[in-house]
Chain A
């Protein structure tokens, strides 16, 4: 069955970077896009960007220059690295799968809590 398993919770200092992973299984990894979405405490969900099935990526304007999304096809893992962290980046980060062009996310990871605190 399809599974998206994310890495564990992280605590980071302001100014640091964090790298969250999302390991996929149960389907053909290169046939689907993977998105990253986050939810800060008391806030709504925020779309961060996408790694296309081709391997290219695109990020939301709010994160451009600060987020790097990559993938490793040998391990079916997608990575999201966010730099120059501030307290406002404290959030739960999710990966979510999309069949190309479908326009919705059919499977989600369980979420990774990133806490930014000095």
Chain B
């Protein structure tokens, strides 16, 4: 069982916006700004798309955005495109220099 909770799957049509939630606790998401999101196409190396709750690395599309409220972080993908179909994982710094992850959310573009 993962420390962070994510929906198993989220789907949307091309051009729509979708949001993936990531719920933790006051020991991780709720008390740290080191919340990050990763896109993983199976067979490829995972890629960071959001760090520090809402920052995008250079080269990542502005269609990806992140936010946090209390113990829940969220990833929003706007203007959904076919290439966005992938698995998305959230991660948070936790106590004692450890990290926790969510189980992943499969995003499907209909």
Which positions in A face B, CB cutoff 8 Å? 4, 35, 37, 43-47, 50, 58, 60-61, 94, 96, 102-111
B103 touches A104 (CB 8 A): no
Task: Note all chain A residues with C-beta closer than 8 A to B38.
Answer: 105, 108
Q: Which residue of B lies closest to A50 (CB)?
A: B97
Q: Contacts A45-B89, A104-B52 known; A109 to B36 CB distance under 8 Å?
A: no
B interface SS class: loop
Write the nearest CB–CB distance from B28 to chain A, whole angstroms.
11
Task: Note all chain B residues with C-beta closer than 8 A to A109.
Answer: 45
The tally of residues in B whose CB lies under 8 Å from a CB in A reads 27
A104 touches B91 (CB 8 A): yes
Write the nearest CB–CB distance from B26 to chain A, whole angstroms.
17
B34 touches A44 (CB 8 A): no
Task: Note all chain B residues with C-beta closer than 8 A to A50.
Answer: 97
Which positions in B face A, CB cutoff 8 Å? 1-2, 4, 32-34, 36, 38, 44-48, 51-52, 57, 89, 91, 93, 97-104
B48 touches A105 (CB 8 A): yes
Known: A60-B98, A106-B57, A108-B46. 13 other contacts (CB 8 A): A43-B103, A44-B1, A45-B2, A46-B101, A47-B98, A58-B97, A61-B98, A102-B51, A103-B32, A105-B38, A105-B48, A110-B44, A111-B45
B101 touches A104 (CB 8 A): no
Rounded to whole angstroms, the CA-CA distance of A94 and B99 in the bound complex is: 14
Write the nearest CB–CB distance from B92 to chain A, whole angstroms.
9
Rounded to whole angstroms, the CA-CA distance of A24 and B109 in the bound complex is: 34
Q: Contacts A43-B2, A47-B98, A47-B99 known; A107 to B45 CB distance under 8 Å?
A: yes
